[in-house]
Chain A
Amino acid sequence: QVQLVQSGAEVKKPGASVKLSCKASGYTFTSYHIHWVRQAPGQGLEWMAMINPSGVSGKYAQKFQGRVTMTSDTSTTTVYMELSSLRSEDTAVYYCTRDHDNSNCNGYWGQGTLVTVSS
């Protein structure tokens, strides 16, 4: 079965960077896009970016362009998302998600990683 397992919680200081991982299993890794969606405490869902795990292309929400870097390691079927220049507003749960089997919405979700940005 499809599984997305994310790395553990992080605490970072403002201005630092954080690199999150998302290990995929149960399907052909390069056949589906991986997306990142975040949710600030008590707030709604915010789509951030998407990567083709073959590494060929990515899409970013404009507000994250320049601060988000996504990479993919096909040997370990793991996608990474690095967010730089962290500020307190980046405190959120970050989810990796995979395209749905039959559509391009977010069909499978990881368990989420809490990133706390605090001085």
Chain B
Amino acid sequence: DIQMTQSPSTLSASVGDRVTITCRASQSISSWLAWYQQKPGKAPKVLIYKASNLESGVPSRFSGSGSGTEFTLTISSLQPDDFATYYCQQYDSFPYTFGQGSNLEIK
């Protein structure tokens, strides 16, 4: 199985900050990577698919980059609604696997 490792696991930041979350795959997954946002008690929501494609309706302050084994999710200017947990997921091969999550907290 492909292992996905996210860093950091927890991140404290302030409104207006620029934030980057990294996701590393244990082997190349080309660009088959998605990023999800999850808020407490809710289902996850896709933000980015195929590494860098912004999901319709997602604010442009979110962006994704990378290919192969290293990927990043960047939020250019944090808004109050962005404090949540973020997961990466590879869907290059079965079983699909998720990173362990990055919890973005208010500083």
Tell whether A103 is near chain B: CB-to-CB under 8 Å. Answer: yes
Tell whether B46 is near chain A: CB-to-CB under 8 Å. Answer: yes
Q: Is A106 in contact with B34, judged by CB distance below 8 angstroms?
A: yes
Specify which chain B residues have a CB less than 8 angstroms from the CB of A103 in the assembled complex. 32, 34, 49-50, 53, 91
Interface residues on B, range: 20 to 34
Q: Is B98 in contact with A45, judged by CB distance below 8 angstroms?
A: yes
Per-residue CB proximity of A87-112 to B under 8 Å, as 1/0?
00000000100001011111101111
Per-residue CB proximity of B15-53 to A under 8 Å, as 1/0?
000000000000000001010101000011110011001
Q: Is B43 in contact with A95, judged by CB distance below 8 angstroms?
A: yes
Specify which chain A residues have a CB less than 8 angstroms from the CB of B34 in the assembled complex. 100, 103, 105-106
Tell whether B80 is near chain A: CB-to-CB under 8 Å. Answer: no
Per-residue CB proximity of B78-103 to A under 8 Å, as 1/0?
00000000010101001111111100
In this complex, the member of A35, A44, A50, A103 whose beta carbon has the largest number of chain B beta carbons within 10 angstroms is: A103
Q: Is B45 in contact with A61, judged by CB distance below 8 angstroms?
A: no
Tell whether A73 is near chain B: CB-to-CB under 8 Å. Answer: no
Q: Is B98 in contact with A47, judged by CB distance below 8 angstroms?
A: yes
A107 to B58, CA, bound (A): 13
Q: Give the contacting residue for B46; candidates A59, A62, A107, A111; CB below 8 A.
A: A107
